[in-house]
Structure formats: structure tokens, C-alpha cells
Chains A and B, each alone.
Chain A
């Protein structure tokens, strides 16, 4: 069995909008979700901005989960999945719940729960570790939250391949639907803003103070961020049979591992990943109309990403854009939000902008950044890049239904 797989539902819980309509409007307008940090005390830090989802109200969005029992990342995942299922008009599928699988990505799982436990241990010692927090700790709950919120009895996997995890999940969903292991998949990713990541990126010299400016000459790094994102996938036959609106087809994906350095990106390995993805999708480089870049805005990432694109695409570089300029780096959700931007580019006819863009890095000859304002286009094929610590590269290819 080798079924074609399509995206029929989108569920963003982001700092620039919750739900596909609000998100699409904000994406098209190039809105920034970066604000002063509210989730932890920033006293003593030299930078205090992040992409927090201040408007997230799990108690209003979730039907079955009690927010008191779950960490923030799991709640993001569950809320995003409910939005995606609703957007897909697939809420009538519970009787087939066994045929709906879940695969959610995360970088740090319940990082805020680790921080609460650590504060408790620091203040009170280890004995009397609060059961409520200990129960919320396992990162695997990010996918399990989706299963429990939606009453799904198919397999629930949590992919924790850091910042490319959502793309891994999307690729896995393609495989299991194509082979008939599952008929429907809810996939995506979630992460929460936390002190330690803010500190760690700062000490790596990879944290920007004010704004995230991918591919800019003066880019200064990431802005840490959070959110949840989900996509509902099914076979093309299933979507047609139930008359579902189809955002795009998932044409293929590629995975590579650098096996070189825990944090520094490797352009050779990224280029190999692109070629694998193209081969899997059956597309040639000159057929790719838009690249949703990983684009973290660290000097090292953007340089390596450009080098790899140049290597694979030669002199004709497709327009590139990074939604991290608006959202910040949502970690395990990041490539899921990029995939949403890719799906919306195909379905709604616009290339999402890279905001905060002043001067394209002069070392990046021929790079076509979609600078500051969205661009009306009708891309047929979109490439979504996701790279990560651990050298975990994952690239997905989306296409207009032909």
C-alpha cells in the first residue's frame, strides 16, 4: 500500500494568533509575537524578551483534560490538536478513534515542570517531592495529552529530536498513512518558555536581545519562544470521500544526522537532507517555489542553511522566509509552524514574510528573502527546513494537489 497523504486541518496556538484564521491573518501581516517575558522573573538577565503565548487559556480550549494535571507543553499540544481536528471537520470520527494516531514533537518536554521541581528541591530538599509535579514530568505526555483530550486510541508517539521534531512527526505521519498503519494522524509539536533555555542560548552567544532577524547582516540570534501546533493528516482518498478541504499534499521528507557536533550545524549534512527529501518527494530543485527556512537568525545556522541551499539549488534560489522572525524559536513546535506557513502558502496564495529584515547578509549572494511584507504568490511546491541540536535534520516537502 502506498497512499497519497494530505493535510486537511491546521491548529496553531501561537504568540501571533490562536486558531488558523487568526494565525493566517497575523502571518500575512507580518505581526511580531515577541514581548517582555512574563512567565519567569527576568531580574539579573541581560535580555528579557520571548515569544510567549499570553492568551493561551487551556481551561477554555480543552474539553476533557484538567489543566491542573498537565504541564504547559502537553496543554499546548492538546489545544493545538483539538483546533486541527475541528478545522479538519473531522470531529465525527471518534468511532474510528483507533485509526487515528498521534505523533507530537518536543525539544524539552515539560521544561517548566522541571523548573518547578528544581525550585522545590532547592527550597525544601528532595524528600516530599510533590507528586503532582512528578506525575507531569514525562515528556511522552505531550502526545498522550492529545490522545486523552480527543479520546484517540491509536498509537501516541512523542518525538524529542529537539528543534526539528515537528518535521520528524510530519514525516512519520506520511509513512504510517501511506502504508496503511493508520488512516489519520494528528502531528505537530509543543514547547514552553523556560529560564534555563533563555540562559543557555545567551551563554552560547546565540540569543538576540530585541528582535529575531534571520538572514540579516546584523542578525544576533534567537528569541526563545513557545507554543503548540498541530496538523491533521489523512489519505487523499479519505479526504475526497468525506469532501474535506485540502490544504496541501505531503510529498515526502528526508532525515539526516550530522554526527559531528552537538550544536554546530553542518551544511554538508543539511544539503544531503534536502536531496533525500527531494528524491523522496519526486521533485527537482528547480520545482521548489518557496523554502520555509529553519532560519534561527544565529550567525552559524543561517550561514550553514544558505550554504546548503546554494549547494543544492545552484544559482536559482527559491524565495526563502523564516517564521521565527515573528514567533521567535518555538523549539519542538518550530518546524510545525513552518509547515503551517508552507501549507498556507499553497492554500492561501502568499509567502509569509521574514520581518525585522534590514540588510540581507552580503555573504549570501542571490538569496531572495521575503523581506518584511508577505508576497502574493501561488507556490506549487514548498520545502520546510528543520534542523536541531544533536545534528537532527528533517526536511519535508509539501505540494499543491495536482
Chain B
């Protein structure tokens, strides 16, 4: 297929200035990085997460997570788990970055979060109440906003007082790449100066069973996610700030039901490498979501040289969390590791319905806090 996109000539590179992450391997970039390096099993006993029956006894779950332990008691009692994750991960990313957010720029700092269905527990419980309450309308009005998919991004904005572009994108395993692509356009067009970009999801019996029913690559459930503070890398450098990583290119597409998923993804990988001006032989690491079709595409385009990591070992079958943790895993690999300066990584993702996407990341081997 002919590459018609002439993106290399007008490349816009995202600079990551800080990040936050929630995973059983650790909360926050430093803890997560240290946790990953121990190489331990991240699964927990799922009965520690819910008293309901679940499809698999193990899960990559955040056992004992309580919003109030991290965010305080005030205002946290009505946050669902996903929203609390989002608020916390955004706070971590802001704290990890050297960007100062104050009244001078908070109109130009925003949030772009990925999701799949919002909080399935919140919506399903709400729907359930219309069936089991004495009257069908006896639902709790305070919880109504939790049924809307943009609840987490809206709360993150309230919590951190960010009045810039605030967007939620639904895409499951593709949501983080979609959010990065969207953020690239928004920043390039000057509609914001910094965006918290990422995705989170929660482990609940509803989501665990729904995922289980779709025959995901693993039966083990998962939750968590990550948020990255991204800016225009060139503008950062002009201001004397050095990004901790760069996202050189993000490209998305769809099979349109016309080709198979592996072929469509292989095509996108070729394009994204071309846009980033990177050859397959230059890649140190490739992170997949774990789908077999992704492996096929990579065999065709990238070959066996680069290390290949399937994110299912970090997030189980939770695609929304997995997509964000794919990026976090790459950043953790490079964090505080100067030997990985300039290291190039490829991230690929796909959905069962035909969305495909890929991104090229370049590490610097530094942690954001290094320059404090």
C-alpha cells in the first residue's frame, strides 16, 4: 500500500514531562519502576478485591486501595474506583513533572483520558436500582454523574483545577494511543499547552465477567492504568526543559472490515516507523497488548530482533489499563537508566473490531525529578 501521509515533514513530537501509574507493581512512577525491576508476580487473590464470584481466582488488582488514603476524606466518598484512580494518577503525573501549573496557565492545561465503558459497576448498579428499588426512579442522584463516561476526566479537572481541554475517548485497549494522537493534534494546533493523557480502569465483578465472556487472551483480570503529562517537546526545550521521553509518532487506523487485523496493523507499524524516521532494526523493545494477531503483524514488519513484551503480564485482561501500562512499562524501563538514553520502543494495540494503532517512543534515561 502506498504511504500517502507526509507526516515526516511536519512532525510534531510529544515530550513527556512526568507520569503517574497505578498497578499492583507499585503506585507512582518510582514505585512502579522499582516493582517491575523485581520481576515478581503481580497477581493477587481476587477475593481480596470483591466478595462476588469472579471468573478467575487471580487478578492484577490494587488490593486495599482506598481513595481516601491517597486523596483525603473530603469529596472522595462518592468517587467510583475508576474516577479515584484517574484523580490520583493525574496528581502523580503533575507531581512528577517540572511543569508549574498555576493561575497563569491552568486554562491551558487539560486532561485527555481513555476509557472503554466508563465505570461498568457504576452504570450497572444504577441500572439495577431502577429494577430492584420500590419505585424505578429511586436511584441516588448524587451518583448519577458516575454513570457518564467522562466522569473521571471531569473529576480530575476539578481536583487539580485544570480548565483547559478536557476530553474522554472510548477505545479500550486503543484508548491510550487514541488519546496520545488526539493530544498531538490539540497541542499542535495550540489549543492547550500541556495535557494529562492516559487511561485507567477498575477491577469489578461486572467488568471481570464481561471481559471473561469476550474470550480475552487471558482469564486473569486486571486494573490500574497510567497518566502522562505531555507537551510540545520543542517548546519544552526552548524553555530549557528536557522531556523524560519523547513520543515521536502515533498512527491509528482501522481494518474497515476490508482486511484482516494483522495486515492492517502491519501497515500502521510501517507508517509510524516511517513518520518517526526509525527502522525496525533500531527498536530495542516492542510492547504488545498480548493479542496473537499483533504478534503476527510484528513478525512481518519488525522481525525477531527487538525484545517483545506482552502487557498481559502487567494488566491481565483489562484492555483499557493495559494500553496505558504499555507506555508506562517502556518509561519504567528507561527511568533512571542512563544506558537507555536514546532507546527506541514501539507500542502496538488493536481492538477486536478492527482498530489498530502504533506509537514510537524515545527514552532519555532520566527521571523527571532529576532536574529538581
User: CB within 8 Å of B: which residues of A?
Assistant: 1, 43-46, 64, 97-99, 102, 106-111, 114-115, 117-119, 121-122, 125-127, 129-131, 133-135, 137-142, 144, 147-148, 150-162, 168, 172, 175-176, 178-181, 194-205, 255-263, 269, 272, 388-392
A196-B139, A200-B147, A203-B137 given; 5 more Cβ-contact pairs under 8 Å: A118-B131, A134-B210, A140-B171, A161-B166, A390-B157
Q: Does B176 contact A (CB under 8 A)?
A: no
Given contacts A200-B147, A389-B154, are A138 and B117 in contact (CB under 8 A)? Answer: yes
Does A135 contact B258, Cβ atoms closer than 8 Å? no
Does A111 contact B123, Cβ atoms closer than 8 Å? yes
Does B128 contact A150, Cβ atoms closer than 8 Å? no
Residues of B within 8 A of A258 (CB): 157, 163
Does B353 contact A144, Cβ atoms closer than 8 Å? yes
Cα distance, A159 to B112, chains bound together (Å): 10
Q: CB < 8 Å: which of B151, B167, B175 contacts A262? A: B151
Q: CB < 8 Å: which of A114, A125, A139, A257 contacts B165? A: A257
Chain B, Cβ-Cβ closest to A119:
B131
Q: Does B148 contact A (CB under 8 A)?
A: yes
Given contacts A122-B132, A155-B252, A202-B137, are A168 and B355 in contact (CB under 8 A)? Answer: no
Give the secondary structure class of B's interface.
mixed
Residues of B within 8 A of A200 (CB): 126, 139, 141, 144, 147
Chain A, Cβ-Cβ closest to B160:
A259
Chain B, Cβ-Cβ closest to A41:
B136
Interface positions of B from 192 to 212, Cβ below 8 Å from A:
205-206, 209-212
Residues of A within 8 A of B185 (CB): 172, 175-176, 179, 181
Does B130 contact A138, Cβ atoms closer than 8 Å? no
Q: Does B332 contact A (CB under 8 A)?
A: no
Does A151 contact B141, Cβ atoms closer than 8 Å? no
Residues of A within 8 A of B351 (CB): 138, 140, 144
Does B127 contact A259, Cβ atoms closer than 8 Å? no
User: CB within 8 Å of A: which residues of B?
Assistant: 1, 4-7, 10, 52-55, 106-107, 110-111, 115-118, 120, 123-124, 126-132, 135-141, 144-145, 147-151, 153-155, 157-158, 160-172, 174-175, 178, 181-182, 185-186, 188-189, 191, 205-206, 209-215, 252-259, 264, 351-355, 357
Cα distance, A242 to B215, chains bound together (Å): 46
Does A259 contact B163, Cβ atoms closer than 8 Å? yes
Residues of B within 8 A of A64 (CB): 257
Does A255 contact B147, Cβ atoms closer than 8 Å? no
Does A109 contact B210, Cβ atoms closer than 8 Å? no
Q: CB < 8 Å: which of B1, B128, B135, B167 contacts A122? A: B128
Residues of B within 8 A of A150 (CB): 256
Chain B, Cβ-Cβ closest to A112:
B127
Q: CB < 8 Å: which of B147, B168, B209 contacts A129? A: B209
Q: CB < 8 Å: which of B4, B151, B214 contacts A135? A: B214
Cα distance, A388 to B145, chains bound together (Å): 10
Residues of B within 8 A of A390 (CB): 145, 148, 150-151, 153-155, 157, 166, 168
Does B167 contact A45, Cβ atoms closer than 8 Å? no
Chain A, Cβ-Cβ closest to B250:
A155
Residues of A within 8 A of B140 (CB): 203
Chain A, Cβ-Cβ closest to B159:
A259
Q: CB < 8 Å: which of B52, B130, B151, B253 contacts A126? A: B52
Cα distance, A198 to B147, chains bound together (Å): 12
Residues of A within 8 A of B138 (CB): 199, 203
Of the A-B pairs whose beta carbons lie under 8 Å apart in the complex, a sample of 14, sorted by A's number, is: A109-B118, A110-B117, A126-B209, A140-B353, A147-B256, A158-B170, A176-B185, A179-B185, A195-B131, A197-B147, A255-B166, A257-B162, A257-B163, A261-B158
Q: How far is the CB of B304 from chain A (nearest CB, A)?
A: 28
Does B170 contact A389, Cβ atoms closer than 8 Å? no
Does A272 contact B258, Cβ atoms closer than 8 Å? no
Does B144 contact A139, Cβ atoms closer than 8 Å? no
Does A196 contact B213, Cβ atoms closer than 8 Å? no
Does B53 contact A139, Cβ atoms closer than 8 Å? no
Q: How far is the CB of A265 from chain B (nearest CB, A)?
A: 12
Does B150 contact A153, Cβ atoms closer than 8 Å? no
Does A260 contact B127, Cβ atoms closer than 8 Å? no
Cα distance, A162 to B169, chains bound together (Å): 11
Residues of B within 8 A of A154 (CB): 253-254
Q: How far is the CB of A146 from chain B (nearest CB, A)?
A: 9
